Amino acid sequence: MTVRALSPWWGYAVARRGSAVRGESQAMGVRGRRAIGVAPLGFFQHPSEGAPALYWQDALNADSAFSHHRAVAVALESLKAPEAALPLARLLRMPGMMGHAATDIKDAQSEVLFADPNLSRNLSLRELILARALFRCGDYEGLGKRILRTYAQDLRGHYARHANAVLNE
Protein backbone atom coordinates (compact mmCIF):
# COMPACT_ATOMS: atom_id res chain seq x y z
CA MET A 1 0.00 0.00 0.00
CA THR A 2 1.33 3.46 -0.82
CA VAL A 3 0.59 6.83 0.74
CA ARG A 4 -1.20 7.83 -2.44
CA ALA A 5 -3.57 4.91 -1.84
CA LEU A 6 -4.31 6.27 1.63
CA SER A 7 -5.72 9.59 0.39
CA PRO A 8 -7.86 11.47 1.05
CA TRP A 9 -7.13 12.06 4.72
CA TRP A 10 -8.29 14.90 6.87
CA GLY A 11 -6.83 18.18 7.94
CA TYR A 12 -7.06 18.98 11.64
CA ALA A 13 -10.16 21.10 11.50
CA VAL A 14 -12.79 19.63 9.27
CA ALA A 15 -16.35 20.39 10.21
CA ARG A 16 -18.85 17.57 10.46
CA ARG A 17 -21.54 17.74 7.79
CA GLY A 18 -24.26 20.10 8.93
CA SER A 19 -22.11 21.51 11.73
CA ALA A 20 -21.22 25.17 12.00
CA VAL A 21 -18.49 24.40 14.52
CA ARG A 22 -14.99 24.32 13.05
CA GLY A 23 -12.89 21.44 14.23
CA GLU A 24 -15.86 19.60 15.71
CA SER A 25 -15.01 16.35 13.99
CA GLN A 26 -11.58 16.36 15.68
CA ALA A 27 -13.28 16.75 19.04
CA MET A 28 -15.65 13.94 18.11
CA GLY A 29 -12.76 11.59 17.34
CA VAL A 30 -13.37 11.30 13.59
CA ARG A 31 -10.31 10.18 11.62
CA GLY A 32 -9.62 9.11 8.08
CA ARG A 33 -10.33 5.39 7.63
CA ARG A 34 -6.70 4.59 6.84
CA ALA A 35 -5.35 6.71 9.74
CA ILE A 36 -7.10 4.33 12.08
CA GLY A 37 -4.92 1.56 10.62
CA VAL A 38 -1.58 3.42 10.55
CA ALA A 39 -1.42 5.03 14.00
CA PRO A 40 -1.84 1.75 15.93
CA LEU A 41 1.20 0.21 14.23
CA GLY A 42 3.34 1.64 16.99
CA PHE A 43 1.23 0.09 19.71
CA PHE A 44 2.38 -3.39 18.70
CA GLN A 45 5.59 -2.50 20.58
CA HIS A 46 7.66 -4.53 18.19
CA PRO A 47 9.85 -2.63 15.71
CA SER A 48 9.12 -4.93 12.79
CA GLU A 49 5.42 -4.17 13.15
CA GLY A 50 6.18 -0.46 12.81
CA ALA A 51 8.11 -0.85 9.54
CA PRO A 52 5.13 0.30 7.43
CA ALA A 53 5.10 3.58 9.38
CA LEU A 54 8.76 4.10 8.46
CA TYR A 55 7.87 3.52 4.81
CA TRP A 56 5.00 6.00 4.88
CA GLN A 57 7.14 8.53 6.71
CA ASP A 58 9.56 8.67 3.76
CA ALA A 59 6.69 9.57 1.43
CA LEU A 60 5.50 12.55 3.49
CA ASN A 61 6.19 16.18 2.65
CA ALA A 62 4.79 19.64 3.37
CA ASP A 63 1.86 19.01 1.03
CA SER A 64 0.75 15.79 2.74
CA ALA A 65 -2.43 15.88 4.80
CA PHE A 66 -2.17 16.55 8.52
CA SER A 67 -3.54 13.10 9.30
CA HIS A 68 -0.72 11.42 7.35
CA HIS A 69 1.81 13.17 9.56
CA ARG A 70 -0.12 12.53 12.76
CA ALA A 71 -0.67 8.83 12.14
CA VAL A 72 2.98 8.17 11.30
CA ALA A 73 4.25 10.29 14.22
CA VAL A 74 1.99 8.50 16.72
CA ALA A 75 3.10 5.08 15.45
CA LEU A 76 6.80 5.93 15.55
CA GLU A 77 6.80 7.68 18.91
CA SER A 78 4.94 4.73 20.43
CA LEU A 79 7.80 2.49 19.30
CA LYS A 80 10.44 4.99 20.40
CA ALA A 81 12.26 3.77 17.30
CA PRO A 82 15.77 5.29 17.10
CA GLU A 83 15.93 4.44 13.39
CA ALA A 84 13.08 6.93 12.85
CA ALA A 85 15.03 9.92 14.23
CA LEU A 86 16.99 10.77 11.07
CA PRO A 87 14.01 10.46 8.68
CA LEU A 88 11.85 12.54 11.06
CA ALA A 89 14.56 15.22 11.22
CA ARG A 90 14.82 15.15 7.43
CA LEU A 91 11.05 15.57 7.16
CA LEU A 92 11.01 18.50 9.60
CA ARG A 93 13.82 20.22 7.67
CA MET A 94 11.82 20.24 4.43
CA PRO A 95 10.67 23.71 3.31
CA GLY A 96 7.44 24.77 5.01
CA MET A 97 7.63 22.23 7.84
CA MET A 98 9.18 24.37 10.61
CA GLY A 99 8.87 27.87 11.96
CA HIS A 100 5.18 27.92 12.86
CA ALA A 101 5.49 28.73 16.58
CA ALA A 102 4.06 32.08 17.70
CA THR A 103 6.64 33.31 20.18
CA ASP A 104 5.89 37.01 19.89
CA ILE A 105 2.79 39.13 19.42
CA LYS A 106 3.59 39.75 15.73
CA ASP A 107 3.63 35.98 15.05
CA ALA A 108 0.39 35.50 16.95
CA GLN A 109 -1.36 38.33 15.09
CA SER A 110 -0.22 37.02 11.71
CA GLU A 111 -2.50 33.99 12.19
CA VAL A 112 -5.52 36.12 11.34
CA LEU A 113 -4.02 36.86 7.92
CA PHE A 114 -4.50 33.26 6.70
CA ALA A 115 -7.43 32.86 4.31
CA ASP A 116 -8.16 29.51 6.01
CA PRO A 117 -8.39 30.18 9.76
CA ASN A 118 -7.38 26.59 10.49
CA LEU A 119 -4.21 26.59 8.38
CA SER A 120 -2.04 28.07 11.12
CA ARG A 121 -3.29 25.48 13.60
CA ASN A 122 -2.63 22.63 11.15
CA LEU A 123 0.91 23.83 10.46
CA SER A 124 1.74 24.35 14.15
CA LEU A 125 0.26 21.03 15.24
CA ARG A 126 2.04 19.17 12.47
CA GLU A 127 5.38 20.67 13.51
CA LEU A 128 4.76 20.05 17.20
CA ILE A 129 3.61 16.44 16.71
CA LEU A 130 6.58 15.59 14.48
CA ALA A 131 9.02 17.27 16.89
CA ARG A 132 7.50 15.30 19.78
CA ALA A 133 7.92 12.05 17.83
CA LEU A 134 11.51 12.96 16.93
CA PHE A 135 12.29 13.76 20.57
CA ARG A 136 10.76 10.49 21.79
CA CYS A 137 12.64 8.49 19.14
CA GLY A 138 15.97 9.70 20.50
CA ASP A 139 16.19 13.00 18.64
CA TYR A 140 18.65 13.84 15.89
CA GLU A 141 21.18 16.62 16.41
CA GLY A 142 18.86 18.06 19.08
CA LEU A 143 16.32 19.24 16.49
CA GLY A 144 13.27 17.85 18.29
CA LYS A 145 14.34 19.40 21.57
CA ARG A 146 15.00 22.79 19.91
CA ILE A 147 11.55 22.83 18.33
CA LEU A 148 9.91 21.79 21.60
CA ARG A 149 11.81 24.54 23.46
CA THR A 150 10.54 27.06 20.92
CA TYR A 151 6.97 25.87 21.40
CA ALA A 152 7.46 26.03 25.18
CA GLN A 153 7.64 29.82 24.61
CA ASP A 154 4.60 29.91 22.30
CA LEU A 155 2.03 32.54 23.22
CA ARG A 156 -0.73 30.01 22.60
CA GLY A 157 -0.70 28.42 26.04
CA HIS A 158 -1.91 24.97 25.02
CA TYR A 159 1.08 24.52 22.70
CA ALA A 160 3.48 25.80 25.38
CA ARG A 161 2.03 23.51 28.06
CA HIS A 162 2.24 20.48 25.77
CA ALA A 163 5.83 21.20 24.72
CA ASN A 164 6.87 21.68 28.36
CA ALA A 165 5.18 18.44 29.39
CA VAL A 166 7.06 16.49 26.68
CA LEU A 167 10.37 18.14 27.60
CA ASN A 168 9.81 17.23 31.27
CA GLU A 169 9.06 13.53 30.64
What pLDDT does 57 receive? 61
- What is the pLDDT of the chain when averaged over all its residues? 75
Helix (H, G, I), strand (E, B) or coil at 40: helix
By residue range, what is the domain housing residue 24? 3-167
Distance in angstroms (rounded) separating the CA atoms of residues 18 and 55: 36
Distances (CA, A) of 152 to 5, 95, 164: 36, 22, 5
Mean pLDDT calculated for residue range 86-95: 94
The alpha carbons of the chain give a radius of gyration, in whole angstroms, of 16
- Enter the pTM of the model: 0.74
Distance in angstroms (rounded) separating the CA atoms of residues 154 and 136: 20
Domain count, the chain: 1
Residue 20 one-letter amino acid: A
Question: pLDDT tier at 55 (50, 70, 90 boundaries)?
Answer: low
What pLDDT does 56 receive? 62
Assess contact for 23 and 58: CB atoms under 8 A. Answer: no
The residue among 119, 99, 98, 102 whose CA lies nearest residue 155 is: 102
